[in-house]
């Protein structure tokens, strides 16, 4: 074997409060034979160690001068606008380092502020680039959906000591090992993105086998699909089979993630073949116990998926709204698009004899799609349930035709 290539590990932190710890990790990285690039995202105090990329440079990358931020910090109690500048600056800085070939792995360190800055920077990097956050407490709303790893420090990160040092040394070893692995995203067959949820899992598993037999590889995304969109932008995805698009409810019905309103757009803009199935659209998933769900849902059919996960039956009006949103996005798509709808239910609990079985309610979605889609011929109705082999075979066939249509267009 040849000599191991020296890696460039970027260390991101606020050096006014976490400088000693970043300096310790830098020594550990260098002791393993790799280079360390330290990026300072601090604002207030003086850096405890020397940075390779200063806080002044990070602030300017975020569109502001550090002196201005310091003045604002003295005059305002709300630090969030200042932190937002450093988040944006850190993201642009690590993205630039990656383009320059100076980033083989990214490690960030800190508390809530450090985590916000680190997670924001990591989202700017492609899927597959090693990413590790070291912190004390983690807030899921900061993390979003990306391929980062989390290491929880058992102590507060406030100085070096025998306990904290063990975590820091292990973190250095982890990010170096991840970079040394050199794993990259490689395809040998067309890659199809499929969305799945617990109540559609058996159907998704069977559908994967059907697609594999037709010469496709599949990657399944659960719940949110932010990473799916990022892989589409990276050119890794060759087609989308949106089989369980429950995220649309979180975005457009519950209004929990308005920043994801671009859902469904990336594949359409790329001209990829897309097939949409309303799997799991029979339910609103509330992450709370039944006793505390909002009053407006208590008169509906309810399904307890777990102690703190409650399913509520969607209404005709909600399904009509989702259908209109889907059709609007489909009408703008540059590639082949089809909707395949099972008449006998959309999930494991939306079938005859089960809690959410309401075929007339489900039919509102079909009527809405036909009403708003400019090409109603793209709607395929199947007299079957979502889990039935006849339905899944038809879905696979429709996708295969759409993929071949795209291929013929490219030729």
In terms of residues, how long is the chain?
411
Query: Considering the chain, what is the average pLDDT of its residues?
Result: 92
- Distance, in Å, from the CA atom of 58 to the CA atom of 157, rounded to the nearest integer, reads 23
Q: Is the dihedral of CA 13, 14, 18, 20 positive or negative?
A: positive
Instruction: Please list the residue range(s) of the chain that carry CATH number 3.40.50.12030.
Output: 191-410
> What's the mean pLDDT in 250-266?
90
pLDDT tens per residue across span 385-400: 999 999 999 999 999 9
Give the CATH number of domain 8-181.
3.40.50.12020
Over residues 264-285, the pLDDT tens digits come to 899 999 999 999 999 999 999 9
Query: What tens digit of pLDDT does each residue of 174-184 get?
Result: 999 999 998 88
- In 204-346 the beta strands, taken as DSSP E runs, fall at 217-222, 239-242, 274-276, 283-286, 302-306, 309-313, 337-342
Q: What does the block give as tokens for 229? A: 């969109």
Q: What is the CATH number of domain 191-410?
A: 3.40.50.12030
Share above pLDDT 70 across residues of the chain, in percent, rounded to a whole number: 95
Tens digit of pLDDT for each residue in 104-122?
999 999 988 888 899 999 9
pLDDT for the residue 408: 64
Helix (H/G/I), strand (E/B), else coil: 380: strand
The confidence score (pLDDT) of residue 259 equals 85
Percent of the chain with pLDDT strictly greater than 90 = 75
User: Among 89, 88, 114, 104, which Cα is nearest to 19's?
Assistant: 114
What is the distance between the alpha carbons of residues 241 and 221, in angstroms, rounded to a whole number? Answer: 11
Residue ranges of the chain that CATH labels 3.40.50.12020: 8-181
């Amino acid at each position: 074997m040849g000599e191991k290539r020296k890696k460039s590990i970027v260390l991101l932190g606020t050096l006014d409060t976490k400088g000693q710890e970043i300096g310790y990790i830098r020594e550990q990285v260098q002791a393993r034979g790799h280079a360390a690039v330290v990026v300072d995202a601090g604002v207030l105090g003086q850096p405890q160690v020397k940075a390779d990329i200063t806080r002044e440079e990070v602030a300017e990358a975020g569109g502001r001068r550090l002196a201005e931020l310091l003045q604002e910090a003295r005059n305002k109690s709300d630090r969030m606008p200042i932190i937002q500048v450093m988040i944006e600056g850190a993201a642009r800085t690590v993205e630039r380092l990656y383009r320059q070939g100076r980033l083989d792995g990214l490690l960030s360190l800190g508390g809530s502020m450090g985590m916000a800055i680190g997670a924001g920077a990591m989202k700017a990097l492609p899927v597959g680039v090693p990413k590790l956050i070291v912190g004390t407490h983690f807030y899921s709303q900061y993390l979003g959906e990306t391929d980062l790893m989390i290491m929880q420090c058992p102590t507060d990160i406030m100085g070096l000591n025998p306990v904290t040092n063990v975590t820091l040394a292990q973190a250095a070893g982890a990010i170096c090992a991840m970079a040394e692995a050199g794993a990259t995203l490689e395809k040998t067959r067309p890659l199809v993105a499929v969305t799945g949820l617990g109540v559609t899992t058996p159907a998704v598993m069977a559908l994967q086998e059907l697609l594999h037999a037709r010469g496709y590889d599949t990657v399944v995304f659960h719940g949110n699909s932010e990473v799916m969109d990022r892989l589409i932008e990276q050119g890794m995805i060759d087609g989308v089979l949106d089989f369980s698009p429950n995220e649309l409810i979180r975005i457009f019905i519950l209004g929990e993630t308005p920043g994801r309103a671009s859902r469904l757009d990336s594949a359409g803009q790329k001209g990829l073949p897309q097939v949409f199935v309303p799997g799991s659209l029979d339910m609103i998933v509330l992450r709370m116990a039944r006793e505390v769900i909002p009053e407006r849902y208590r008169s509906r059919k309810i399904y307890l998926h777990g102690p703190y996960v409650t399913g509520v039956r969607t209404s005709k009006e909600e399904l009509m709204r989702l259908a209109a949103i889907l059709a609007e996005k489909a009408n703008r798509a540059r590639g082949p698009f089809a909707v395949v709808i099972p008449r006998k239910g959309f999930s494991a609990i939306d079938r005859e004899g089960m809690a959410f079985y309401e075929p007339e309610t489900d039919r509102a979605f079909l009527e809405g799609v036909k009403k708003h889609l400019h090409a109603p011929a793209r709607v395929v109705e199947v007299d079957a349930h979502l889990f039935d082999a006849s339905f899944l075979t038809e879905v696979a066939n429709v996708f295969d035709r759409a993929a071949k249509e795209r291929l013929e267009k490219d030729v």
